A and B are shown apart, each in its own frame.
Chain A
């Protein structure tokens, strides 16, 4: 169908869902997320420029190993997400469900790691308003402030992702997502990949300052 026929079809037979339109809407939403985190990256960039030495010192307290493991976890979850969509595309429902479940599982593991990471920091007395932190130079206060806010906001998006993907899992199980109609899964996948993308940048900026 060409564009014009598509318009008439969509407007007269309301059952026809505009897949491209839905995808467009999701991408536009993703741009808002890019700009939201972009603002935070701008703050990070400015302070890193202004306090580069203190950023280096503070960054040494972050656990590169956990950071790397979490990176691998998210990258793999992007793979499992893509595979879940690929399999429903090929009408392989069970495999699609398997890989979507794996995606959710990996996301949960990511959060568990984050929990341990943050707990360790708290135990060392590094948290907002802590005496330990406030006694340090400004650059370090700013570093850890950004660390908590940026990874925290990212973590919140992981939580939202888990919720959204869980809904998709239910839809898959109930055949509301099928090989004929898997828009929702694709668009949820787009969101999930964005969560991964943000981490791809967070990781070197916080864990790999050497």
Chain B
């Protein structure tokens, strides 16, 4: 290793591979966390776009009452697939698999994750899951039509391809578990000398907390899926009420995973926010320890609130008020984060670059989503809006306005580091404006419609909703256009963008101390960490170009 190292580190990771192959095999058989992260990024972005198109088609159907472009059965399949693809193929793997893989090792001063080959396996398991999901669309029986939550009893009665679709989700869950195992072990075992837990960047804290949820929560939906498949295949009585089973028990098992899953979605995003804000406010984060601990708190409390999805299911009253109470608790650590982020901006030296503008968008949209979560968490009001568009608006504000915008923020923040090129910042800023307009047209109207009583997952609607439905659909066009436009200028930048320096933003975490793109083994020598993670005083010493 000694002599070869110097020459090796002058080439970036695209030019050198961990295996003896070149060309496509050097990617497909790589164990380099950076390449794996990029492969995930490409796959995830592909499925995101598929999900967007499904969403646009759904909104197109809802442009007019009655049939517009498809049948009711087709609509049921469409919203099911939109949910399954967005949740299992985009948001849950999203930030951890793409950016966690690429940056977690670098941010802790490591050369790779703890189990590089397991990492590659987790990617292939993801691909298998994706293929199974797509296959289920075309087999006899037709695509699954149960909604992404595949509730009993319909999911054991319908003849659509439930088993294959949910088995795909099982496989994808396995990929998630493997990533979680890898990240927890990496954080415990591979931190550079001097990097104690409280010197780790907050993105690492967030990804670590997420990894724990991936490990502990995912198996519960795993067994739930297996039980539904077994019940469908063998008629074993488990949840089917005709055989004495309890459909509410199914819902418990489903949401015991699926609620923590939303924290798998948001925690890494919050970690990215905690990276971007200090960089573009040019000062250290306010309340580092509080933010770090709040990630763990959210992860833990997130396990205690699942039945707030079930307030109208027939659960006991005792359970209902207990879960409502616990749900209010989980808002507290999230509030801590938002407060600390805003406090960081106060008296900072604000640089309104695209990553920060995405973050500002996030804070606005996520706050709306979070606050409406309180309406849903509170028993009395939930009865009124459960299973209406209000819920749909809420989760799109938190998942899309939350994790989604930060996915874009992360791309815009780390693009120069990953690809060694810069994109057109002006186009990026314009995109954000159109995204914001389209997003609110599409989803804010849904809060109103939901409150007015418009049920979710309905193919048709009463005339009083027609005006708002049209506005919502037009919003979807603006939103989708902004997204496709974004991909346009980003892909252009990949090939024709100006070369980026090692530290175009003036960040101080470890990824900005290495070249853009990084060399194969990340660091010439493993650094010894002596300073705090967001110490901007040393930036002046390093004399980086901006």
Contacts and interface: CB of A to CB of B under 8 A. Distances in A.
Q: Do any CB atoms of chain A lie under 8 A from CB atoms of chain B in the complex?
A: yes
Interface of A: 4-5, 7-8, 10-14, 18, 20-21, 24-25, 28-29, 31-40, 42-43, 46-47, 50-51, 128-129, 134, 137-139, 141-142, 145-146, 148-149, 153
Interface string B155-190: 000000000000000000000010011101100111
A40 B246 CA distance: 14
A134 B235 CA distance: 10
Contacts of A8: 193, 526
Interface stretch (B108-116, B283-291, B462-470, B476-484): B108-116
B255 to A, nearest CB: 12
16 contacts: A4-B193, A7-B110, A8-B193, A8-B526, A11-B526, A21-B114, A24-B188, A25-B115, A32-B215, A128-B234, A139-B244, A141-B243, A141-B244, A142-B243, A142-B245, A148-B236
B244 A128 contact: no
B224 interface: yes
Contacts of A46: 246, 249
A42 B41 CA distance: 37
Contact of B181 (A25, A37, A134): A25
Nearest to A41: B223
Contacts of B223: 36-37, 39-40
B1 interface: yes
A31 B215 contact: yes
A31 B216 contact: yes
Contacts of A25: 114-115, 118, 181-182, 185
B219 interface: yes
A25 B118 CA distance: 10
Nearest to B220: A39
Contacts of A24: 114, 184-185, 188-189
Nearest to B108: A7
A175 B237 CA distance: 48
Nearest to B191: A7
B216 A4 contact: no
Nearest to B528: A4
Contacts of A134: 243
Nearest to A34: B219
A67 B484 CA distance: 61
Nearest to A140: B244
Interface in B235-269: 235-238, 243-246, 249, 252-253, 256
A11 B190 contact: yes
A18 B189 contact: yes
Given A18-B189, A32-B181, 15 more contacts: A7-B189, A11-B526, A24-B185, A24-B189, A25-B185, A28-B185, A32-B218, A36-B222, A39-B253, A43-B249, A46-B249, A128-B236, A142-B238, A142-B245, A149-B227
A7 B185 CA distance: 13
Nearest to A138: B244
A70 B220 CA distance: 27
A38 B185 contact: no
Given A24-B185, A24-B188, A28-B181, A51 B115 contact: no
A30 to B, nearest CB: 10
Top 10 closest pairs, chain A to chain B, by CB: A138-B244, A4-B193, A39-B223, A35-B219, A129-B235, A36-B219, A145-B236, A21-B189, A141-B237, A128-B236
Nearest to B211: A28
Contacts of A37: 223
B114 A145 contact: no
Nearest to B231: A145
Nearest to B218: A32
A134 B217 CA distance: 34
Contacts of A18: 114, 189
B194 interface: yes
Contacts of B256: 39
B238 A146 contact: yes
Contacts of B217: 35
Contact of B243 (A20, A35, A138): A138
Nearest to B193: A4
Contacts of A40: 223, 227
A96 B11 CA distance: 47
Most buried by B among A31, A32, A43, A149: A32
